[in-house]
Structure 1
Amino acid sequence: MAAPYQGGFLDMHMVEKAFVALLNHKAWVIGSILACLSIGLVVTFLMTPLYTSTSRIEISPQAPVETDVKGAREKTISNEIAFFNTQYSLLESRSLAARTVRAGNLLNDKEFLAHYDLTGGEEGTPNSAQRTRMAERAEKILLDAVSIEPVRQSSLVDVSFATPSPALSAKLTNLWVQQFVAANLDRRFAATSDARRFLEQRISSLRRNLEDSERELITYAANNDIITLESRGDPASGRSVGDRTLIAADVEKISTALSNARDARIAAESQLSSSVSSADSSSNASVSALRQRRAELTAELARLTTTFGEEYPEVLAKRQQLAALSQSVVTETQRSRALNQESYASALKRERELQSELDRLTGKYRDQQRRSIEYAILQREVDTNRQLYDGLLQRYKEIGAAGVGTNNIAVVDMAAPSQVPSSPKLILNIVLALIAGFGIAAAIVFMFEQLDQSIRDPSEVSDRFGLPLLGSIPQVDSEEFETLLLDKKSMVYEAYFTAQTNLTFLTSHGAPRSFMLTSTRPAEGKSSSALSLASVFSQTEKRVILIDADIRSPSLNELLDIKNGAGLSNYLTGFDNVGELIAKSPEFGFDYMLAGPMPPNAAELFSSSRLGELIELLLRDYDHVILDAPPVLGLADASLLARPVEGVIFTIDASSSSSRAIKSALNRLRQTDAHIFGALVTKVGRRNEIYGYGYGYGYGYGYGYGADKNRNSDD
Structure 2
Amino acid sequence: MDSARGQLVATSDITENHVDESRDDRGLFDMHVLERAFVALMSHKAWVIGSIAACVGLGLAITFLMTPLYTSTSRIEVSPQSPVETQVEGAREKTMSNEIAFYNTQYSLLESRSLAERAVRAGNLLNDKEFVSAFGLDEMENADAVPNSAQRDRMTKRAMDILLDSVTITPVRTSSLIDVGFSTPSPALSARLANLWVQQYIAANLDRRFAATSDARRFLEQRIGTLRQNLEDSERQLITYATNNGIITLQSRTDSLTGRTVAERTLVSSDIEQVSQALALARDNRIIAESQLQNSTATADTSSNNAVSVLRQKSTEAAAELSQLQATFGDDYPEVIAKKEQLDVLNRGVAAETARTRNINKETYTAALKRERELIAELDRITADYRDQQRRSIAYSNLQREVDTNRQLYDGLLQRYKEIGAAGVGTNNIAVVDTGVPANAPSSPRLILNLLLSLIAGMMLAVALVFILEQLDQSIRDPADVTKRFGLPLLGSIPQVASDDFKDMLLDKKSMIYESYLAAQSNLTFLTQHGAPRSFMLTSTRPAEGKSSSALSLAHIFSATGKRIVLIDADIRSPSLNEMLGVENKYGLSNYLTGADDLTGLVHPSEQFGFDYMLAGPTPPNAAELFSSSRLGRLIDLLLRDYDHVILDSPPVLGLADAPLLSRQVEGIIFTLDASSNSSRAVKSALSRLRQSDAQIFGALVTKVGRRNEIYGYGYGYGYGYGYGYGVDTNPEKTD
* TM-score, reference length from structure 2: 0.63
Cross-structure match for 1:187: 208
Where do 1:604-643 residues align within 5 Å? Answer: 604-643=625-664
Which ranges in structure 1 are unaligned for 5 or more consecutive residues?
205-395
Cross-structure match for 2:683: 662
Deviation at 1:526, TM superposition (A): 0.7
Name the CA distance, whole Å, in 1 between partners of 2:29 and 2:679: 30
Residue 61 (structure 2) pairs with residue 32 (structure 1): no
Cross-structure match for 2:537: 516
Quick check: 1:504–1:511 contact (8 Å CA) kept in 2? yes
Over 3 Å counting, the alpha-carbon distance change for 1:441 and 1:691 in structure 2 is farther
Name the CA distance, whole Å, in 2 between partners of 1:609 and 1:531: 25
Cross-structure match for 1:700: 724
Residue 152 (structure 2) pairs with residue 128 (structure 1): no
Question: CA offsets, 1:536-583, max 9 Å, x none?
Answer: 212222111112222222222232233333433344445445455333
AA aligned to 2:154 is R
AA aligned to 2:151 is Q
Name the CA distance, whole Å, in 1 between partners of 2:511 and 2:603: 30
Quick check: 2:495–2:516 contact (8 Å CA) kept in 1? yes
Residue 456 (structure 2) pairs with residue 466 (structure 1): no
Over 3 Å counting, the alpha-carbon distance change for 1:22 and 1:560 in structure 2 is same
Quick check: 2:194–2:436 contact (8 Å CA) kept in 1? yes
Quick check: 1:454–1:654 contact (8 Å CA) kept in 2? yes
Over 3 Å counting, the alpha-carbon distance change for 1:617 and 1:5 in structure 2 is closer
Quick check: 1:58–1:411 contact (8 Å CA) kept in 2? yes
Match of 2:68 among 49, 63, 85: 49
More displaced 10-residue stretch of structure 1: 86-95 or 695-704: 695-704
Where do 1:650-689 residues align within 5 Å? Answer: 650-689=671-710
Over 3 Å counting, the alpha-carbon distance change for 1:427 and 1:202 in structure 2 is farther
SS in 1 for 2:562: coil
SS in 1 for 2:143: coil
Name the CA distance, whole Å, in 2 between partners of 1:620 and 1:501: 23
AA aligned to 2:36 is K
Deviation at 1:515, TM superposition (A): 0.8
Cross-structure match for 2:78: 59
Name the CA distance, whole Å, in 2 between partners of 1:202 and 1:25: 85
Which ranges in structure 2 are unaligned for 5 or more consecutive residues?
1-21, 229-412
Cross-structure match for 1:107: 126
SS in 1 for 2:632: helix
Match of 1:496 among 517, 521, 536: 517
Name the CA distance, whole Å, in 2 between partners of 1:575 and 1:569: 9
AA aligned to 1:95 is S
Deviation at 1:106, TM superposition (A): 1.4
Quick check: 1:686–1:700 contact (8 Å CA) kept in 2? no
Residue 117 (structure 2) pairs with residue 98 (structure 1): yes
Where do 1:172-183 residues align within 5 Å? Answer: 172-183=193-204
More displaced 10-residue stretch of structure 1: 75-84 or 579-588: 75-84
Cross-structure match for 1:161: 182
Deviation at 1:57, TM superposition (A): 2.7
SS in 1 for 2:168: strand
Deviation at 1:699, TM superposition (A): 2.6
Quick check: 1:64–1:408 contact (8 Å CA) kept in 2? no
* TM-score, reference length from structure 1: 0.65
Where do 1:226-305 residues align within 5 Å? Answer: none
Over 3 Å counting, the alpha-carbon distance change for 1:58 and 1:4 in structure 2 is farther
Deviation at 1:74, TM superposition (A): 5.1
Question: CA offsets, 1:676-695, max 9 Å, x none?
Answer: 22221222344544665322
Name the CA distance, whole Å, in 2 between partners of 1:686 and 1:65: 76
Deviation at 1:71, TM superposition (A): 6.2
Where do 1:328-339 residues align within 5 Å? Answer: none
Cross-structure match for 2:108: 89
Cross-structure match for 1:297: none
AA aligned to 1:89 is S
Quick check: 1:514–1:645 contact (8 Å CA) kept in 2? yes
Over 3 Å counting, the alpha-carbon distance change for 1:699 and 1:183 in structure 2 is same
Question: CA offsets, 1:75-126, max 9 Å, x none?
Answer: 5555444443333222212221111111111122233234233231425343
Name the CA distance, whole Å, in 2 between partners of 1:407 and 1:124: 44
Name the CA distance, whole Å, in 1 between partners of 2:221 and 2:585: 118
Deviation at 1:703, TM superposition (A): 5.0
Quick check: 2:569–2:575 contact (8 Å CA) kept in 1? yes
SS in 1 for 2:695: coil
Over 3 Å counting, the alpha-carbon distance change for 1:203 and 1:656 in structure 2 is farther
Match of 2:164 among 143, 146, 159: 143
Quick check: 2:541–2:673 contact (8 Å CA) kept in 1? yes
Quick check: 1:566–1:597 contact (8 Å CA) kept in 2? yes
Over 3 Å counting, the alpha-carbon distance change for 1:57 and 1:520 in structure 2 is same
Residue 463 (structure 2) pairs with residue 439 (structure 1): no
Deviation at 1:626, TM superposition (A): 0.8
Name the CA distance, whole Å, in 1 between partners of 2:430 and 2:574: 92
More displaced 10-residue stretch of structure 1: 696-705 or 51-60: 696-705
Quick check: 2:512–2:722 contact (8 Å CA) kept in 1? no
SS in 2 for 1:651: strand
SS in 2 for 1:183: helix
SS in 2 for 1:20: helix
AA aligned to 1:625 is V
Over 3 Å counting, the alpha-carbon distance change for 1:626 and 1:416 in structure 2 is same
SS in 2 for 1:693: coil
Where do 1:435-584 residues align within 5 Å? Answer: 435-584=456-605
Deviation at 1:640, TM superposition (A): 2.1
Over 3 Å counting, the alpha-carbon distance change for 1:201 and 1:485 in structure 2 is farther
Over 3 Å counting, the alpha-carbon distance change for 1:164 and 1:4 in structure 2 is farther
For the aligned residue pairs, the C-alpha RMSD in angstroms reads 3.5
AA aligned to 1:465 is F
More displaced 10-residue stretch of structure 1: 51-60 or 565-574: 565-574
Question: CA offsets, 1:598-642, max 9 Å, x none?
Answer: 344333333344333332332222211111111111122212222
AA aligned to 2:78 is I
Cross-structure match for 2:136: 117
AA aligned to 1:56 is R
AA aligned to 2:218 is D
Deviation at 1:652, TM superposition (A): 1.3
Question: CA offsets, 1:283-303, max 9 Å, x none?
Answer: xxxxxxxxxxxxxxxxxxxxx
Over 3 Å counting, the alpha-carbon distance change for 1:546 and 1:417 in structure 2 is same
Over 3 Å counting, the alpha-carbon distance change for 1:173 and 1:487 in structure 2 is closer
Question: CA offsets, 1:396-447, max 9 Å, x none?
Answer: 9xx9999863654443333233233222222222222222222222223333
SS in 1 for 2:537: strand
More displaced 10-residue stretch of structure 1: 69-78 or 610-619: 69-78
Name the CA distance, whole Å, in 1 between partners of 2:613 and 2:637: 16
Name the CA distance, whole Å, in 1 between partners of 2:520 and 2:24: 34
Deviation at 1:513, TM superposition (A): 0.8
Name the CA distance, whole Å, in 2 between partners of 1:198 and 1:669: 99
Name the CA distance, whole Å, in 2 between partners of 1:551 and 1:512: 23
Name the CA distance, whole Å, in 2 between partners of 1:5 and 1:71: 67
Quick check: 1:61–1:80 contact (8 Å CA) kept in 2? yes
Over 3 Å counting, the alpha-carbon distance change for 1:507 and 1:132 in structure 2 is same
Quick check: 1:16–1:691 contact (8 Å CA) kept in 2? no
- Count the aligned residue pairs: 516
Name the CA distance, whole Å, in 1 between partners of 2:732 and 2:26: 43
